[in-house]
Amino acid sequence: MYAARERRRNPVDRTRSVKLGLGVWALVVALIALVVLTFLPTPYVIQRPGPVYDTLGTAAGADGEQVPLIQVDGAETFETGGTLDLTTVQVVGNRERTPSWFELALAWMDSSRAVVPLDSVFPEGVTTEQRDERNATLMVDSQHEATAAALNELGYDTGAEVVVQEVVEDAPAEGALEAEDVITAVDGAAVTSAKQLRQAIQDGEGAPVALTVQRSGEEQVVEVTPVEQTDGDVTTWLIGVTLRTDYDFEIDVTLQLDNVGGPSAGMMFALGIIDTLTEGELNGGENVAGTGTIEADGTVGPIGGIRQKLYGARDAGAEYFLAPSTNCDEVTGHVPDGLTVISTSTLEESLDALEVIANGGDVGSLPTCDVVTSP
C-alpha cells in the first residue's frame, strides 16, 4: 500500500480579500458620486471673465462685417492709439441648466471665477429671454447716457428733456401729470435729467412741488405733493411717476456692440467717444481697460463681476484698469499680478487718470482702492 500523500493547503489571505472588496466598493461609490456631482442640479451659477472689446477698435456689425465700434457723423474725428477696453462677464448656467457640482468645485478653486446663487442672476419667475431683453435695454440706455456724458464734457448741447413715461395709479401725480409730459422745471429751477428732478423732490422732504410741464405744445404749471416711503432708516419722497431722459444730440454717435448687455460699459463708451472726437491719444498709446456705469452728469456707478473683469483685462493685455470707487471693497485683495487699478468716481477723474498715464506721470499718485473711501 502506498502512503497517502499529504497535500499542503495555503491558508486563505482573508485580509487581502477584505481590502479588495472594500476597494471595489470604494470605486463604485466614487463612480456614483461622480455621476451625481456631474448631473445633479445646483442652486448656483458661475461668473467668469468674458470677452474684452476695445472701444477704439472694431466690432461685428449686423451683417457680420467688422465696423468701428464707435462711429461719429457730423463732427471731425481723429486717429487714436492704444486701447480703451470695456470688460464683460460671462455667466455659466441658467434656470434651464445649472452647472454641475464638479464644475462648481473647479470654479471655487479658480480665483478668476465666482460661484454665486442662481436667484441673484436669474430671479425666480424671470426667464433667460426676459433677462436678456432687460440687459439689452440697459445697454441701449447706457449708450445714450455715455454719449450725453461725453458730449457734455466736450461742450456740446445734448438737448436733454425729462419725460414722464408712466403715471402710477392712485399716486400723487395722477390727474396732474400725463404720459409724455415734458417736465422743464421744478419750483422754477430748470431740470434736464430725471436725477435732478428726483433730487429736488427729495430735498423738499414732502413739501408740495410746482412742476413746469410742456404738454401738447403748451406750457403749464402743476402742483404735486410727494408721499413718504420708508425702508428701514431710509426715507424717500415719491410723486408716483416713471421718468426717462430724452436727448437730441448735435452730432450722431453710433455704438456698435449688439451681443453685450447691461449698463456697465457706460464709462468706457464715454471715454472712447471723447478720444475719437479729440486730437491726440487720450491714453498716450497705452493699453487701458475699465468698467462702470455712467450718467449724463459724469457720475460713475458700481457694476457686478468686477473681479472677473480684472482678470479679463489683464489677460487681454491691459496694464491699467479704471474701477468705480463704489466697487473698491470687491477689488481690494483681488487684483491680478501685472495690473494697476485706479479708482474713479466721475468721468472727470477718469480723464485726469488717463492724462497722467499718457504723460508718463506718477501713476502711484492716483487714487487706488487701497486708500479710497467709497461715497
Q: Work out the percent of the chain whose per-residue pLDDT is above 70.
A: 88
pLDDT reported for residue 1: 47
Q: Which residues contact 280 (CB under 8 A, 6 or more apart)?
A: 78, 358
Question: Which CATH number does 45-155+251-365 carry?
Answer: 3.30.230
**Fold equal for 45-155+251-365 and 161-246:** no
Q: How confident is the model at residue 9 (pLDDT cuts 50, 70, 90)?
A: low
Torsion 266-272-273-278 (CA) sign:
positive
Model confidence at 130: pLDDT above 80: yes
Q: How far is CA 339 from CA 107, 301, 320, 342, in A?
A: 22, 21, 6, 10
Q: How confident is the model at residue 138 (pLDDT cuts 50, 70, 90)?
A: confident
pLDDT reported for residue 234: 87
C-beta separation of 45 from 116 below 8 A: yes
Domains in the chain: boundaries: 45-155+251-365, 161-246
Residues 263-310 pLDDT 10s: 999 999 999 999 999 999 999 999 999 999 999 999 999 999 999 999
User: How long, in residues, is the chain?
Assistant: 375
Q: How far is CA 318 from CA 110, 149, 311, 314, in A?
A: 20, 24, 10, 5
Q: Grid coordinates representing 174?
A: 395722477
Q: Work out the percent of the chain whose per-residue pLDDT is above 90.
A: 71
Q: Which amino acid is at 349?
A: E
Q: Which segments within the chain are labelled E, that is strand? A: 44-54, 58-60, 66-68, 70-73, 83-92, 114-117, 161-167, 182-186, 189-190, 209-215, 218-224, 227-231, 234-238, 241-246, 252-255, 287-290, 293-294, 300-301, 320-324, 340-344
Residues 195-240 pLDDT 10s: 899 999 999 999 999 999 999 999 999 999 999 998 888 889 999 9
Q: Report the distance separating Cα 171 and Cα 115, nearest Å.
A: 41
User: For the whole model, what pTM was predicted?
Assistant: 0.84
Angle at the Cα of 256 from the Cα atoms of 250 and 259, rounded to 5 degrees: 145
Check if CATH label 2.30.42.10 holds for domain 161-246.
yes
Residue showing cell 441673484? 120
Model confidence at 17: pLDDT above 90: no
C-beta separation of 303 from 292 below 8 A: yes
Q: How confident is the model at residue 8 (pLDDT cuts 50, 70, 90)?
A: low
